[in-house]
Structure 1
Amino acid sequence: MSHTTPTHRHGNDNQITVLMTGAGAPGASGIIRSLRANGERDIRIVGTDVNPDAYGFALLDGGYTVPRGTDDGYIDRMVEIAAEVQPDVILPLTTAELQPLAEHKAAFDATVMVSDPTALELANDKGKLYEFLADHGFASAPRFQRVTSIDEFVETVEAFGYPEEPVCFKRPVASGMRGFRVLDERTDRLTQLLSEKPMNAVTTLDEVRPVLAGADPFPDLVVMEYLPGVEYSVDVLATGDDVHVVVPRSRSRTRAGISFEGTVEEDAELIREATDICRALGVEYNLNLQFKYDAEGTPRIIEINPRVSGTIIMCVGAGANLPYLGVKHALGEDLPPVDVQWGTRMVRHWDELFHSPDGETFRVDAETAGPWSLA
């Protein structure tokens, strides 16, 4: 894949500007810290978000509000912002913005860090992705069926072994576990009702059938085999024709699809499979592949997020600053070898950001037990 080397806006290789979308995304804080901790150059980071109170604005060098990526005015607004900010690269963090940015790369005088539209569409749509992987003989392709009616949905769920076995379904294009459910008749409904938080994704066919039957039109859904094994998140920096680095990490504890605990592991099978998939798709820049093991111990792909993942800072802590390496690739620079510290473990904790009545933004400092200003 050809790659054009841009001219740095500031006339100095050690000073670049990144326009980062999704300033309120859960992983924005870690990605901002990763870019700043590159050890090579100063980076000015300007952000955008649909929410004017997005927490990431307080961590950036400037910020702008934008329409949602699916809105008609999104690209026009981004072009307007880019003309003012003059970024060297544009780094999108949210799924809804990827396709419009990919289709309008030529509108920007900067490198947009997103795969070409064709590769992006395959990676983003789980139904098309599973079909592509199965057609190309990938062992990680899961058993699945795309359904377009309630009768087809029920028939497919039962064909996949329900109610004796759990079965999953999801929207083909979604993020953050939106639309994902596990149908499982073995669930103790009373325990789930009284002892578990209401965000649990496990339900039954009897509960979802009337909801889906009343949908007009019926939503596009993918029914998929249930995978009981360990889940892995694999971060990749792809270069279009090849792959520069692949970092698998276990997901020991998650909340709403976000990793809160895990370990960076040198899993040769996952590294090889992720590499081959990325080469076959022709994807580029940072992306994330989610795998889960089936009952026989074979890793099956759940989804691909063709963007920087929300927990990519876990790789940074293990010595692989993938967000910054992605920026270097976007700038057309040579990529250095990466020495991953396998076995690095991460535990994530919450942090708080405050807005005082007079408009000051601050955090509470543990050492002084008082606020310190970000302004």
Structure 2
Amino acid sequence: MLKLLRLFGGLLSKLYQSEAWRVSMESITVLITGAGAPGAPGVIKSLRDNGERSIRVVGVDASKEAVGFKLVDAGCQIPKADAPDFTSSLLKIAGEEKVDVILPLVTMELETLSLNKDKFQNEGIIVSVSDIYPLKIANNKGKLLAYMKDKGLSVSLFSIVNSKIEFMKSAYELGYPDKPICFKPLNSNGSRGFRIIDPKINRHKLLFDTKPTLTYITFDEVMSIFEESEIFIPLILMEYLPGNEYSVDLLVDHGRPLYTIPRRRDAMSAGITTKGVIIKEDDVINYCNEIVQNLKLHGNIGIQVKRDMNNIPLILEINPRIQGSIVHCTGAGVNLPYYAVKLALKEEVPKVCVKWNCKMLRYWKEVFY
């Protein structure tokens, strides 16, 4: 009898994993924006390898040569997020392709999609995006740190600057030149505009022993750049945090964390993790949970965290969307892009064990057309 039960269980397991079982479940269509983003191939892979159902993947991008177009079932070029016809174009494509859920990968699209998500909802299309109020805070680094400080959450020393004079004054207040500092535009993503000012860095070694991809700059170079333009882009100036850096992937149900998975970033290229490890560090997990609970964020959320000189985790920024290396979580047994789809469809999100200490290495792969 026991042998028969084991045999029956084994057959059920094989059936569940088979293509026939997946096809027998409800097939759906998922649209991802930013099909040319570095993280798009991993998201497409995660959606396809969900082990539960057949998913038709549609990809859209502002570029007609987005790499994701070679990987999806249907690819379409759309206007940029700030174009007046962005929403209408996306809505038209989503309707024609019979899309069930939209997963945004582009930061600049989030607020527009949030403001117009009811238009999609009226057509039976769910956009996995946070509400507009928390989005406006999360997308602005100055507002975010001020909000967190007001809520009693730990943040690094920072200052918002709107001129060259304010930059110089704040730099010295933050301890420069005795301590390194860093800065970034209030509204940016993907390491755009991020630089570190450290007078103790060996510039000869930086020039001859490293590739020109690092983010160090001198104080004088920054001042010279400011002189070249009449426009001053508002910046957030912060103390430099010297400890380990983490990308934390969360799945959140209107402020309730369902999964919180830190990835230690051991190597990066152009702001994208190329080598990392899934690591269970409870102080990082608890800290990120507090942040999303306060902000009431929703869906796939990314938080960048770095440890200070006292080993305390402090926020760098929030990416209130799918992050570029979320596929690492899929490799560790937690398919967060697909679980966001299930959450959008009001299906039960499974509770699975994270494969802690799972490592990831990235490599180049080509498509030909």
8 Å CA contact 1:286, 1:322 repeated in 2? yes
Q: What is the CA RMSD across the aligned residues, in angstroms?
A: 1.2
In the alignment, the residues of structure 1 paired with residue 114 and residue 209 of structure 2 have an alpha-carbon distance, to the nearest angstrom, of 44
2:151 maps to 136
Aligned counterpart, 1:67: 79
Confirm whether residue 246 of structure 1 aligns to residue 260 of structure 2: yes
* SS of match in other structure, 2:274: strand
Structure 2 counterpart of 1:153: 167
**1:285 and 2:299 matched:** yes
**Contact (CA 8 Å) 2:28, 2:99: kept in 1 or not?**
yes
Look up the equivalent residue of 1:15 and give its one-letter code: S
Give 3-state SS (helix, strand or coil) of 2:29's partner: strand
| Contact preservation (8 Å) 2:182, 2:196 | yes
- Cα distance in 2 for residues equivalent to 1:172 and 1:199: 22
**In structure 2, C-alpha distance between the alignment counterparts of 1:275 and 1:161, rounded to whole Å:** 31
Per mean C-alpha deviation after superposition, the further-off stretch among 20-29 and 189-198 is 189-198
1:276 is aligned with what amino acid?
A: E
1:111 and 2:126 are equivalent in the alignment: yes
What CA distance in whole angstroms lies between the structure 2 residues aligned with 1:247 and 1:133? 21
Q: C-alpha distance in 2, partners of 1:28/1:123? A: 22
Deviation at 1:338, TM superposition (A): 2.0
Moved segments of 4+, more than 4 Å: none
Q: Which structure features the higher share of helix residues?
A: 2
Q: CA deviation at 1:71?
A: 1.8
Q: Does 1:43 align with 2:55?
A: yes
- Distance (whole Å) between structure 1 residues aligned to residue 321 and residue 51 of structure 2: 23
Tell me the SS of whatever aligns to 1:354: coil
Q: Is the CA contact (8 Å cut-off) linking 2:255 and 2:295 kept in structure 1?
A: no
Cα deviation, 1:45-91, whole Å, max 9, x if unaligned, reads 11101111111111101011011112222112111212211211111
Structure 2: any 5+ residue segments left out of the alignment?
1-23
User: Take 2:67 and 2:106, find their aligned partners in 1: how far apart are those partners?
Assistant: 15
CA distance in 2, matches of 1:136, 1:257: 29
Task: Check if 1:80 corresponds to 2:95.
Answer: no
Instruction: Indicate whether 1:58 and 2:73 are aligned.
Output: no
Tell me, yes or no, if the aligned pair for 2:197 and 2:219 is still in contact at 8 Å.
Answer: yes
Q: TM-score scaled to structure 1, two decimals?
A: 0.89
Shift of 1:13: 5.4
Give the AA of the match of 2:44. I
Are the equivalent residues in 1 in contact too, given 2:57–2:72 (CA < 8 A)? yes
1:304 equivalenced with 2:318 (yes/no): yes
1:223, CA displacement in angstroms?
0.3
Partner of 1:210: 224
Distance 2:25 2:149 in 1: 44
Find the aligned partners of 2:212 and 2:88 in 1 and give their Cα distance: 39
Residue 19 of structure 1 aligns to a residue whose secondary structure is strand
Q: Give me the whole-angstrom Cα distance separating, in 2, the residues matched to 1:13 and 1:91.
A: 21
CA distance in 2, matches of 1:248, 1:52: 34
Give the TM-score normalised by the residue count of structure 2: 0.91
- In structure 2, distance between residues paired with 1:199 and 1:260: 14
